[in-house]
Amino acid sequence: MSGVILGVNPLSRWLLFGEWRAHPMRAVLAVVAIAVGVAMGFAIHLINAAAFNEFNAAVHSLSGQADVQVTGREALFDEGIYPRLATHEGVALASPVLEVDAARADGQGSLKIVGLDAFRAGYIAPDLMGVPDASRPYDVLADDTVFLSPAAQAWLGKARGDRITVRAGTRDLALRVAGPILRARSGQRLGVMDIGALQWRFRLTGKLSRIDLKLRDGVDRATFERALAAELERDYPGRFTVGRPGDANQESRSNNLSRAYRVNLTVLALVALFTGAFLVFSTQALSVLRRRGQFALLRVLGLERRALLRQVLLEGAILGVLGALLGIAAGYGLAAAALSLFGGDLGAGYFPGVKPHVQFAPGAALVYFGLGLGVALLGCAAPALEAARARPAIALKSGNDETALERLNRVWPAVVCLLLAGACAFAPPVFGLPLFGYFAVALLLIGGIGLMPRLAASAFRSLDRVLRRREDHSPVLALTLARLANAPGQASIALGGVLASFSLMVAMGIMVASFRVSVDDWILHILPADLYVRSGSGGNTGGFGAPEQAALAGVPGVARAAFLRTRPLSLDPARPNIALVARDIDANDPGRMLALVGDPAPVPAGARPVWVSEAMTDLYRLKPGQTVNLPLGGRPQPFFIAGVWRDYANQTGAVVVLLDDYRALTGDTTVTDAALWAAPGADVAHVEAALRKLPFGAALQLARPGDIRAMSLRIFDRSFAVTYLLEAIAIAIGLSGVAATFSAQTLARAKEFGMLRHVGVTRRQVLGILAVEGGALTALGVVTGFVLGLVISLILVYVVNPQSFHWTMQLHLPWPLLGSVAAVLVAASVATALVSGRYALSGGPVRAVREDW
């Protein structure tokens, strides 16, 4: 950087260093604002890239060296297909695989356990083979042993010879740790068992998750894959999917799962960068206004207009380069710290069970460096053009600052931006992302800030006219309104900072509050029972069989019991699995249990009803009255879509079917959850005590609706912790910009204050003028920012979120938050104006004050 500065001509260096020496804090604030925006955006990119890559690598490591994988549309399928694939022409080796997420008996999460055939998996996935003790080589085939990855051993606190206890149905299953896995990725929590033992111990006899195929030498993989897919679809329609380990479809599934979350965080990080752009504009605009006479003198002495334009752009570019470089370094450090402390999902839960490490991305660093530099150049473009276009003879005269800002009064560019924003707000998503929604937000901000000069002039002139009609009006108030009404350009520079920061805060605050309140209301609606019971707090190995269900329903004090079964389904191999929910529900009144959206469709006689979530209507183009085929019981089964319901738990889609229909089609009588209603007059605490006395009572996880609600809201707040942080940073930058702008403008008006003092205005009255002016400007900015923020929040709530996450919500305004931030903004502006005013008046009425901002 020093080489770049020294490479310019002496006059440019003199102007540059002179400006920085005179106003170091303004330059520092602009650099910090750009650095914060770049750092947050770059850090979020590095965190998500590291987590996504590590997650995919962990998934690929489970596939080993398989050429082709056969998976089922249902989570598990019958192993009867295995002999056919193992003896298929072109297949050298077939390895059956069963995966379960075994719930820990202590309720502290779940452990992924992979069941393998040791005689076949060694040729396809040798890294997953267990390493037994030399004295017990047959532990790889034992029915009570498990091999753990280093991360799983550390997480469980177990070593070779220790025992771990996991949940199988309502039973506690003790497994002996027989040793480590040969190789596992860092942070990957994984256990490996013999596949037969896993099937028997978890009552999954005859079930598989997938079959890995190793092809013979010379067999073309693509041709074989197409032929096998066609063969299986012919003989087993809608039952199997044939693909390659880690192919584009599998990567896109995990990528799509978190893409909207990552993009929304990145856009939110760029909010801070946008605020930094306005700080650069404010800094450079005030600098150019103050130095108009200096620039005019240089023009008279022979400096070309092009050279002056380059000078102002150079000042902004250096601010941008410094801010971008600091932001890249800070972003890398922030990403490393966040991955170490919080993991790769930033609290959202998209990448469980991985421990990514940050890796510097030169391409992304170059992009964010360009963004930081571009923002700085964009911020100083208008001041640079004004400096170059100013006529020297006019600019040499004092008191013509407002003339230089006349271009800000043009209304048509702002109106065009607002009209374009309205058009973009109604545009559909692009590649599943609300890109036009983001454009609408940006255009609204630009258009709103562009209207501020005209709005300020109109508002303060109207107030001035009203005040003049009163005979007892205050001279301080009259002088303040007269100045604001006749200098809207300078007022708009201060107002723009307030508008940008407060409107974005309002928009984000309303969006997050609306989402939180909607989730809270949704939880209250879908949890009508008095008590909820399950046998494991995580994983998919807990559940209740028919005897356990009868025992739960027969507990003294229970008036009614309803059961629920959840499992994943694949409707499209290119998309993540959806959630199938089979539950006891009244088909004539589904709204009692589901948060229905829109009008339901009457179910034809003999049809099986299904209720699809809002995400299903977006992702699969489904609507009430249509028929959808669900892969159940080994074949596609037709269901009639009876309605749409709101589901905040499954972003990738969910369907609800009647539990009786599910059991009739699949023969599966187990359930994962039970809802219990207490009899009239019965105490829920007594019901809980009775449940604990059941033979399997020690395995039960009991929760009341209030407990589930509190836990869900804690998860919500944890997921939005980064959002709150970014919002706080944007507010802090906005407050800094407001303070810097008001301070700079106050100090630059030393001559004006001296003139007022000469004509008899007291020091106290001048300070009153400044306090009223700061409060009035900020109040107008807050009111306008609230209106603009409310409009932006409507786009976020009704456009961006439905297009990103495929669910809707009701609007909620967090008045305490909005009011407190507005009060802080007004108080900060008044305090800054008073402090700056005291400094500007400290040297007497005729002293030219040296500005320190």
pLDDT digits (tens, 9 = 90+) for 120-133: 988 898 888 999 99
Mean pLDDT of the chain: 82
802 versus 25: the higher-pLDDT residue is 802
**Confidence category of residue 848, pLDDT binned at 50, 70, 90:** very low
Does the pTM exceed 0.75?
Answer: yes
Of the pLDDT bands very low, low, confident and very high (cuts 50, 70, 90), residue 653 is very high
The Cα–Cα gap between 321 and 324 comes to 5
Hunting for tokens 């006395």 — which residue is that? 693
Distance CA 422, CA 399 (A): 40
CA dist., res. 72 & res. 570, Å (int): 8
Q: Which amino acid is at 153?
A: Q
The pair phi, psi for residue 606, each rounded to 5°, is 85, -10
Neighbours of 462 (CB within 10 A): 12
Helix (H) or strand (E) holding 741: helix 721-748
Asked if 613 contacts 653 with a C-beta cutoff of 8 angstroms, the reply is yes
DSSP collapsed to 3 states, 375-443 = HHHHHHHHHHHHHHHCCHHHHCCCCCHHHHCHHHHCCHHHHHHHHHHHHHHCCCCECCECHHHHHHHHH
Is the Cα torsion angle 426, 431, 432, 435 positive or negative in sign?
negative
Q: Give the C-alpha separation, 89 to 87, whole Å.
A: 6
Which 3 state secondary structure label does DSSP give 227? helix
Render pLDDT for 166-198 as a digit per residue (tens, 0 to 9): 999 999 999 999 999 988 877 788 999 999 999
E strands within 181-296?
A: 190-194, 207-208, 210-215, 240-243
- Contact between 208 and 22 under an 8 Å Cβ cutoff? The reply is no
Task: For residues 502 and 590, give the distance between their C-alpha atoms in angstroms, rounded to a whole number.
Answer: 43
Q: Which residue has the higher pLDDT, 251 or 58?
A: 58
The DSSP-derived string for 45-78 is HHHHHHHHHHHHHHHHHHHTT-SEEEEESBSSEE
∠ Cα 32 38 43 (to 5°):
120
Rounded CA gap, 477 and 357, in Å?
60
Span 355-411, pLDDT tens digits? 677 888 898 899 889 888 887 887 777 776 766 676 665 555 555 555 545 666 678
Q: Is 810 exposed, middle or buried (0-12, 13-18, 19+ CB in 10 A)?
A: exposed
Highest mean pLDDT, choosing among 280-294, 413-427, 432-446, 743-757 = 413-427
- Of 361, 431, 343, 338, residue with least CA distance to 55: 343
Instruction: Report the SS3 class of residue 715.
Output: helix
Residue 617 predicted with pLDDT over 90:
yes
Sign of the CA dihedral with 725 first, then 728, 734, and 738 last: negative
Burial status of residue 781 (CB atoms within 10 A of its CB: 0-12, 13-18, 19 or more)? buried
Given the structure tokens 């991360």, which residue do they identify? Answer: 151
Q: Which two tokens stand for residue 787?
A: 């209106």
Residue 493 CA to residue 816 CA, distance in Å, equals: 28
CB atoms within 10 A of CB 287: 22
For residue 635, what are the β-bridge partners? 632
Q: Which of 38, 603, 741 is nearest to 331 (CA)?
A: 38
Alpha carbon distance 324, 326 (integer Å)? 5
Average confidence (pLDDT) over 617-632: 94
Instruction: Dump pLDDT digits (tens) for 763-799.
Output: 888 788 888 888 888 888 889 989 999 999 999 899 9
Q: Which residue has the higher pLDDT, 824 or 142?
A: 142
Give bridge partners of residue 192 from the DSSP assignment.
114, 147
CA 540/CA 101 separation, integer angstroms: 5
- Which residue type is seen at 634? G
Closest to 75 (Cα-Cα) out of 720, 580, 536: 580
Residue 119 to residue 123: CA distance in whole angstroms: 8
Distance (Å, whole) CA 487 – CA 853: 21
pLDDT of residue 292: 67
The total of other beta-carbon atoms located within 10 Å of residue 804's CB is 21
Main-chain dihedrals φ then ψ at residue 179, nearest 5 degrees: 150, -170
